[in-house]
Amino acid sequence: MNCSPHYAADLLFYFDGRPLELSLYEALFTALDAAFPQASVKVQKSQISFYGRHLFAAASLPVRRKKDWPEHCILVTFGLSHQVADPRIAVAVEPYPNRWTHHVVVDRAEQVDGRLLSWLREAWDFAQRK
């Protein structure tokens, strides 16, 4: 995956004091790097963004945490043309017609699995068609 020269330092700054969340992100990054080696990643102030032709996924620390969410987790966000109805989808919103943003709470590395990666593959394909 294509990373900026400051990626490692930016990543440590983003997850400063959050080693459990960093380990969850590293599991996600490893899976995305294997699935999308041509993608690029950018650490930003509020999220870590993954790009192909366009943004297709993001990882972030929850800002507005729902009371039933785990204390240590990351949010994985992706966009699709349709809503996915699945218990693992914590929030799904349609900010524009036929453009659904989905948020998945990840609190264990094993949740970065085939189902999540299939949604991210679909999000990659959707973003490439834009």
**pTM of the entire structure?**
0.94
Question: Which residue has better confidence, 66 or 99?
Answer: 99
Is the CB of residue 96 less than 8 Å from the CB of residue 107?
A: no
Spatial separation of the C-alpha atoms in residues 78 and 100, rounded to whole Å: 8
What lies within 8 Å, CB to CB, of 84 at 6+ separation is 92, 100, 102, 119
pLDDT in tens, 52-87: 999 999 999 998 777 888 999 999 999 999 999 999
* 3-state SS string for the chain: CEECCCHHHHHHHHCCCCHHHHHHHHHHHHHHHHHCCCCEEEECCCCEEEECCCEEEEEECCCCCCCCCCCCCEEEEEEECCCCCCCCEEEEEEEECCEEEEEEEECCHHHCCHHHHHHHHHHHHHHHHC
Confidence band of 97 (pLDDT split at 50, 70, 90): very high
pLDDT in tens, 9-38: 999 999 999 999 999 999 999 999 999 999
Candidate from 65-79, 96-110, 115-129 with smallest mean pLDDT: 65-79
> Quick one: pLDDT at residue 63?
83
